[in-house]
Amino acid sequence: MNKRDHIKKTKRCVIKIGSALLTNDGAGLNVAGIALWVKQISALRKNGIEVVLVSSGAVAEGMCRLGLTKRPGSLHELQAAAAVGQMGLIQSYESEFSKYDLHTAQILLTHDDLSNRQRYLNARNTVRSLLDLGVIPVINENDTVVTDEIRFGDNDNLAALVANLIEADTLLILTDQSGLFDRNPREHKDAKLISEASANDNSLAEMAEGGAGTFGRGGMATKVSAAKLAARSGTSTLIAAGNEEKIIQRLFAGEDLGTLLYAEQTPVAARKQWLAGHLQIYGKLILDNGAVKKLCESGSSLLAVGVSDVQGEFSRGEIVSCVTCDGKEIARGLVNYNTGDVEKIKGKPSKEIESILGYVDDAELIHRDNLVLI
C-alpha cells in the first residue's frame, strides 16, 4: 500500500502552524491565513477526523501589539509579550471556528505537564474529552511561566509530544517551506524536495540545515527531530507549505505534496511494543480464571471484577503485571487506579466503582489499548 494511502485513513491528527505563517513578517497576525486554515480544519472535523491544533504566534502577536520590532532578549519580556499575544491569537481562532459552529478550547502546557505522569494523564484525559465533545483544542506552550530549563524548545517538539499524548495517526506541520529538501533551498537552487522517507532515517538530520526566522524558534532540523519523536507512538509526520491552496484538504486526500516522514509501525503496535519492552513494573494484579480467559482469547480490557488480589505499590498510569493465580505473567499495561483504590474495587463490577471510591475515572482497570499480552 502507498504510504500516502495511510494518511487518507487518518482518524485523529495534530496540526501545527508555525510563526512564519501566522505573523505577516511582524505586522500582526495573518488573519486571512487563519481564516483559510480554520475553514480547512473545519472540513476535516465534519468528515469525522479529530483535530488538535498546536499554534505558534503568541510572542510575535504580543510584540506587534506592544510595538516591539525585535524579539525581546530577557525571559520576562518574552513572557510578557506571550501573555499579551495569547489573547489575540486565541480570539482569532475562536472567532473563525465559530463561523462553522465549532467550539475551541485553549490549553497551555509546559514540559513539566508532560513529564509528570499524573499531570500527563490529566492532560490526555482533558484533550480526549474535548475531542469527544467535538471541540477543537488549541494548544501552545505556556510561555508566560516556562523557563529555559523546562521549555519544549519549540512548538514542533510540543506538537510531536501532543501527538504522543493523544496517539494521533498523523502530525501535520505547516511551514513556509514546501517540505524537506536534500539541502537548504535558500542556498542551493538545485535542491530537491524529499517526497517521503522513514522518520527514523538518520541521514535526514544532515539535510535539514538552516535556522529559524526572526519570529520562530524552530527550523527544518526541529521538524525532522519532531517527526522522529512522533514516530515513537506510531504517528507519521507531514511537512508542507501552509500557504499552498487548500493544502490541508489535499494532503489528507493523499495528494503527493510536501514531505511525508512515515512511522514504521501503527500507533497501537508502537505503543504495545513499548509496553511489552518496559522494564520497570510497579505492581502485580492477580486475575481470576475468567479474566485470564477473556484477556487471552478476546483481547478485552481488564475490569476490576476480574482481579482477585493486588501486590506492590503503584500510582495511576504506571505499568503493572497481570498474572494468573499460579503466578504466570500473561499481560502488562497502564493501570487507571492506584494501589489503594484497586484494593477497594477488586472483584467488584464497574458500575459500583463510583459508589465505592466516590468518583470514577475509567470503567476499565486497564484499557485494551494500554494492555499487551506477553
Beta-strand pair 259-262/104-109: unpaired
Instruction: Give residue 352's Cα distance to chain centre.
Output: 33
DSSP run (H or E) holding 17: strand 12-17
Domain borders along the chain are 3-267, 278-373
CATH number of 3-267: 3.40.1160.10
What tens-digit pLDDT sequence spans the chain (374 residues)? 578 888 999 999 999 998 888 877 666 789 999 999 999 999 999 999 999 999 988 888 888 888 888 888 787 888 888 889 889 999 999 999 999 999 999 999 877 777 666 787 788 889 999 999 999 999 988 766 665 533 445 788 889 989 988 889 999 999 988 999 887 777 778 889 999 999 988 888 777 654 444 334 447 888 998 998 888 888 999 999 999 999 999 999 999 999 999 998 776 666 676 666 655 788 999 999 999 999 998 888 999 999 999 999 998 888 899 999 999 999 998 899 999 999 999 999 999 999 999 999 889 999 988 888 88
Full-model pTM? 0.76
What cell was used for 218? 524552530
**Grid-cell match 488573519, residue found:** 31
Nearest to 373 by CA among 313, 300, 303: 300
Q: How far apart are CA 183 and CA 174, in angstroms?
A: 19
Per CATH, 3-267 and 278-373 having the same topology is answered no
Q: How far apart are CA 82 and CA 147, in angstroms?
A: 13
In one letter, which amino acid is 107?
I
Helix (H, G, I), strand (E, B) or coil at 100: coil
User: pLDDT value at position 115?
Assistant: 64
CA angle 173, 120, 133 (to 5 degrees): 70
Q: How far apart are CA 155 and CA 323, in angstroms?
A: 41
In one letter, which amino acid is 31?
V
In one letter, which amino acid is 367?
H
In order, the DSSP letters of 128-154 are HHHHHTT-EEEEEE-TTT--TTT--SS
Tell me the backbone φ, ψ of residue 238, rounded to 5 degrees: -110, 135
Among the four given CATH numbers 2.30.130.10, 3.40.50.20, 3.40.50.1980, 3.40.50.1970, the one describing domain 278-373: 2.30.130.10
Q: How far apart are CA 210 and CA 213, in angstroms?
A: 10
Cα distances (Å, whole numbers) of residue 126 to 112, 119, 132, 146, 168: 16, 10, 10, 21, 15
Q: How far apart are CA 342 and CA 344, in angstroms?
A: 5
